[in-house]
Amino acid sequence: MGFLDKLFGSSKEEQTQHKPLLIVRAQFRNEKYFNKELQYFNKIINILKEDNKEYLKKHGKMDSFQFLNLAKKYILIIENKYSKGDFIKELQPIFKESVENFSQAWSEDYQGYPLLLQMVSLGILLKSDEEEFKKITDFLNKATQSNIEEMWKPDNLIFFLMGDTKNKRKGDKPYEKLYEITQLPKLEAEKAIKDYLEVWYSLHQTDPWYNTHLRDSGYSGYWAWEVAAVVKVMKLNDSGFKDNPYYPYDMVHLAKL
Residue 255's contacts (CB-CB under 8 Å, 6 or more residues apart) are 17, 19, 88, 249
What is the predicted pLDDT for the residue at 254?
A: 78
d(CA 226, CA 224) in angstroms, rounded, equals: 5
Euclidean distance between the first and final Cα of the chain, in Å?
Answer: 25
What is the predicted pLDDT for the residue at 14?
A: 45
What is the predicted pLDDT for the residue at 22?
A: 75
What is the predicted pLDDT for the residue at 4?
A: 54
What is the predicted pLDDT for the residue at 7?
A: 56
Alpha helices in 103-215 (DSSP H): 113-125, 130-145, 156-162, 173-182, 186-199
Are the CB atoms for 13 and 253 separated by under 8 Å? yes
The domain limits of the chain are 29-253
What is the predicted pLDDT for the residue at 196?
A: 98
What is the predicted pLDDT for the residue at 10?
A: 47
Low-confidence ranges of the chain (pLDDT < 70): 1-21, 255-257
Q: Which among 157, 88, 153 is positioned nearest to 127, based on CA atoms?
A: 88
